[in-house]
Amino acid sequence: MKKNKGRYQHTKPNSAKNRRYVSYEDVPLREINDIEPTPNNLTKKFFKVFIILFISVVAVLALVNIDYLTPENISHWFQYDLLGKTEGNGYPVRFIGTSINKENFSLMDGCPIYCSDTSVVVLNSNAGEIQNNQHLFANPVLRANSNYSIIYNSDATGYKILNRDSIIYSGSSKKKLFSADISSNGTYAVLSYGEDYLSQLEVYKYDNTKKYAYSFADYYVSNVSLNNDGTRAALSGVSANNGGLVSVIYVLDFGQESYLQKYEVEDSYIYDVRYMSNGNILAVGEQASYFIDVENGRKSDFSYQSKTLTTYTMKKDYGLILSLSKNPDGRDCDIYSINKDGNHEFDFNTNSKILSLDYKNDSLAVLSPSEIDLFDTKGNKLSTTSVSSDARKICMQDEHTIYILGKSEISKYVADQ
């Protein structure tokens, strides 16, 4: 039989006496160190290449995030992200104060922010306090965006401006305040009773110097919303005409003395108005909602068709989502959406009484008594979880994470992914 001479063929070893063994015990230390020296010029070249690559990566990241590289953001990143300040003990957490209005619970750069009857507080994802500041406002109202928040004392004169870390300015109006808003670049507006007019709008730059003022003689204008760059405002108000109610929507450009556009709505009160991120405007009324295409000067109405509005949410980057009930007591609610381009995007029935709702990345969270349901935009239920019966409002951080305001505490729900 022939021996296998394939892959694993046996080979005859060399004679042991022909092998040569080298032991470093027999070599001087100086010679060991000099066996394979690394050239100095190679080390220097490697170091230079590393430095160039590092600087290039930092430069690219800086250019991509140039709008976010403010002193406040850099300080926040250093204190809270790098050093891990205010770690927190997790949710649920009892809020400070005795009560919070639903309108005074929101998110600021993804972090829960609330204004109670005594304090304004920003929390991190683990319930650690990023800031906690007391106020003396009898009727505080909070408006928040990713970079800034403004708190004003409704029917009084005081207001405060916050970033994520602290209160950066405290001011007051000459007359009692109706409303206020702040843009993502720090421009802010306060709307008050006028000295010789029904209402007066004052707009201030980031450094608190006055930028613009406008007075309203024919309407009590009570809501204001700024566009993203703080160059225009949408406002709503009300007046009486021959015994009837007339609401109005104004569009102001801060580079013009007169209003840019004006729209009147008869026999329907307007609850809220919001400037969208694309420059359009949405308003929520008692009997209908309204879309304004500012560029083309066009208004569209979305009637509720005898249904009762129970709650709504407006997102500058998306649009408006309404909860409309078939019954006066708020049961059996339908969801109806209008995007920031003024198009009806989706609607479906929930068979539930809706207390609060929020929207994020094609996921819709709906709070009904003792339950939170997650839906997609086709009305398919993605998940359900039980919550405390005192839950009053929800805010979505992302499509899986929801913060919940109760009567005495704030909790957090993370849906299965």
pLDDT digits (tens, 9 = 90+) for 261-291: 999 999 889 999 999 999 999 999 999 999 9
The per-residue pLDDT for 97 is: 94
Yes or no: say if 357 and 323 are a contact pair by the CB < 8 Å rule.
yes
DSSP 104: G
The pLDDT assigned to 2 comes to 41
User: Are 138 and 156 a contacting pair, CB within 8 Å?
Assistant: yes
- What is the arithmetic mean of pLDDT over 26-45? 55
| pLDDT at position 182 | 98
How far from 53 is each of 42, 47, 56, 215, 279, CA to CA, in Å?
A: 17, 10, 5, 56, 40
Asked if residue 27 has pLDDT above 90, the reply is: no
Mean pLDDT, range 120-147, rounded to an integer: 96
Region of poorest pLDDT, from 35-49, 107-121, 359-373: 35-49
Which residues, in sequence order, are CB contacts of 312 under 8 Å at separation 6+?
272, 284, 320, 321, 322, 323, 357
> Residue 17: pLDDT band by 50, 70, 90 thresholds?
very low
Structure tokens that stand for 157 in this block: 């004169």
Higher pLDDT, 106 or 59: 106
Helix (H) or strand (E) holding 270: strand 270-275
Give dist(CA 255, CA 388) in Å, integer: 50
- The pLDDT tens digits of the residues spanning 39-86 come to 666 666 667 777 887 777 666 666 655 554 555 555 544 455 444 456
Residue 154 is given by DSSP the state: B
Query: Residue 327 in 3-state DSSP?
Result: coil
3-class SS at 373?
Answer: strand
Section 359-377 average pLDDT: 95
pLDDT band at 416 (very low <50, low <70, confident <90, very high): confident
Average pLDDT over residues 25-52: 60
CB 373 within 8 A of CB 366: yes
How many other C-beta atoms are found inside a 10 Å radius of the C-beta of residue 345?
A: 15
Helix (H) or strand (E) holding 76: helix 71-76
| Residues 6+ positions from 346 with CB-CB distance below 8 Å | 335, 337, 377, 378, 379
Residue-level pLDDT at 7: 39
Checking if the pLDDT of 145 tops 80, the result is: yes
Tell me what the pLDDT averaged over the chain comes to. Answer: 87
**pLDDT score, position 48:** 72
The mean pLDDT of 395-417, rounded to a whole number, is: 94
Residue 172, pLDDT above cutoff 50:
yes
- Tokens 């003396």 sit on residue: 136
Contact 378, 64 (CB under 8 A): no
Q: What's the pLDDT score for residue 49?
A: 73
* Contact yes or no for 184/164 (Cβ under 8 A): no
Q: 261 Cβ partners below 8 Å, 6+ apart?
A: 250, 251, 292, 294, 297
Cα 190 from Cα 213, distance rounded (Å) = 10
Q: Which pair of structure tokens corresponds to residue 387?
A: 């919550």
Is residue 38 scored above 90 in pLDDT?
no
Q: How far is CA 394 from CA 5, 107, 166, 287, in A?
A: 76, 10, 24, 24
The torsion region of residue 196 among left (phi > 0), alpha (psi -120 to 50) and beta comes to alpha
pTM (2 decimals)? 0.80
Given the structure tokens 């060991």, which residue do they identify?
Answer: 32
> What is the rounded distance in angstroms from the CA atom of residue 88 to the CA atom of residue 86?
6
pLDDT greater than 80 at residue 141 = yes
**3 state SS for 36-51:** CCCCHHHHHHHHHHHH
For residues 304-330, give the mean pLDDT: 95
3-state helix, strand and coil shares in percent for the chain, rounded to the nearest 5 = 15, 45, 40
Q: How far apart are CA 297 and CA 60, in angstroms?
A: 40
